[in-house]
Amino acid sequence: MIDFENRGPSGGEPLAVRDVSAGSTETSTSASSHDVLMPTLVEEGDLLLVFIAIARGSNATPGASGWTVLFNTDQNSRRGTCLYKIADGTEGGTSVTFTTPSSGERSAHISFSIAGWTDFDGTSSGYGASNPDCPTLTFGTSEETIWIVSVAAAEPEGDPTAPSGYSNTTHTRTSTSTSDDDHVRQSTARKTSTASSENPSTWTLTDTVSICGTVGIR
C-alpha cells in the first residue's frame, strides 16, 4: 500500500474520480517516446494515474520525470504499465511524454485524476488465454474505495466487456487492424465499494495476449 498525506486542496474533497482522458500514440516504426494526454480537470494534490499498453514492448518500460511505476508486466512482447504522480495542479489538459529505454511501437493510454484520496495500491498479471482474470488486491481494512480494473491487449478487433459489477468503461486503441504484432489497446472500468479486498471477475476478451491490473484508491 502506498500511503501519503494529501496536503493539496484535493485532500479536503470527497473521494471521487475527477476526470478521465484517453488516447494513443501512432507510429509504424519503433518508437521510444509516447505522448500521453492528461485529464482536463486536475487540482493540486490529485492522484494522477496513467495506464499504458505498448505493442512490441517486452523491454520498453515507460517512464517520465516525477512519475513512479505502480505496476508493470510483460506478456509475449506486450507491456501493460500503470504509473502515478501527485499533481501540482498544472497538469490539466497537458501532454506528458513517457519514454522507454528500448523501442516499442504503438501505445494506447488512459489517464485519471482522483480527488480526496489518502492511499492506494495496485497489482497486475499477464495472461496467455482469452477472458483474462484481474488479480486480487487487499488492503486489510474496510472503507470507501474506488477500484479500477485495466486490461492491455494485443489485437484490437473489438472492445472487451468489463468484469461483472464494473462500469464507466473507457476504451482506446491504436487501430482496427488485424495485425497482432503492430497494434494494441487499453481499457479500464471502475466501481466503488467499502470492501477491504477485491477479487474482480474476468474481462470478456478473445485475445490470447493481455495484461490485467487491479488498482484500489481510498
Per-residue confidence band for 212, with pLDDT thresholds at 50, 70 and 90? very high
Q: How far apart are CA 191 and CA 189, in angstroms?
A: 7
**Which residue from 26, 214, 23 is spatially nearest to 120, judged by alpha carbons?**
214
What is the pTM for the complete model shown?
0.91
Q: Is 39 in contact with 111 (CB distance < 8 Å)?
A: yes
Model pLDDT for residues 69-119, shown as the tens digit of each residue = 999 988 887 889 999 999 999 999 999 998 887 666 688 899 999 999 999
In this prediction, residues 176-180 reach a mean pLDDT of: 56
**In which order are the strands placed within the sheet that holds 68-75?**
16-25, 107-115, 47-55, 78-86, 68-75
Cell 501527485 maps to which residue? 86
Phi and psi angles of residue 19, each rounded to the nearest 5 degrees, phi first: -165, 160
The number of distinct structural domains making up the chain is 1
Alpha carbon separation from 42 to 21, 63, 69, 97, 186 (Å, rounded): 11, 20, 20, 18, 22
**Which residue from 17, 3, 9, 11 is spatially nearest to 114, judged by alpha carbons?**
17
Question: What domain range includes position 74?
Answer: 2-217
Using alpha carbons only, give the angle 105, 129, 166 rounded to the nearest 5 degrees: 85
Model pLDDT for residues 135-168, shown as the tens digit of each residue = 999 998 999 999 999 999 876 567 899 999 999 9
